[in-house]
Amino acid sequence: MKKIFFMGVLFASLFSGCSSVNMVERATPEAEKSMVDDKRVITDSGLDDIVYIAGVNQTRTETGLLKIQVELVNRTEAARNFNYKFEWYDASGMVIGTPAPVWIASVIDAGEAKFISAVAPSSKAVDFRLKLLGNVRGE
């Protein structure tokens, strides 16, 4: 009986450890983020748990293109599939066409913080919009 109990505890501890990640970083980071104040439109609260937007950071590339990095957090207890795309806008608010695929498929593990990023297709881009879509295949 003790052996079965011990194996059960070992099994539970092995699988419960899969949902978290230990990390280490500088106590005083040297990197300075340029966080963007964002406006969110949440139409699917379940999707917001799967790919919660924790923050948006922006910079410019060496060639002057706008670069956006978004931190997403999966607040569920399972790995999830999702899709995303960035749209870019010029100073007049007009959409700038992009050669990238319309939607990019991605996976985020349970409890994981994941970064996605994109670079504007033109130096005329001054704004962006990130769209998130749940798994359309139902997997």
What's the average model confidence in pLDDT over 9-21? 48
What's the average model confidence in pLDDT over 79-83? 94
Predicted TM-score (pTM) of the model is 0.75
User: pLDDT tens for residues 117-139?
Assistant: 999 999 999 999 999 998 766 55
Let me know: does 103 contact 84? Beta carbons within 8 Å. Answer: yes
- CB-side exposure of 72: number of CA atoms within 13 Å? 25
Terminal-residue alpha carbon distance, the chain: 39
pLDDT at residue 9 tops 50: no
Let me know: does 103 contact 83? Beta carbons within 8 Å. Answer: yes
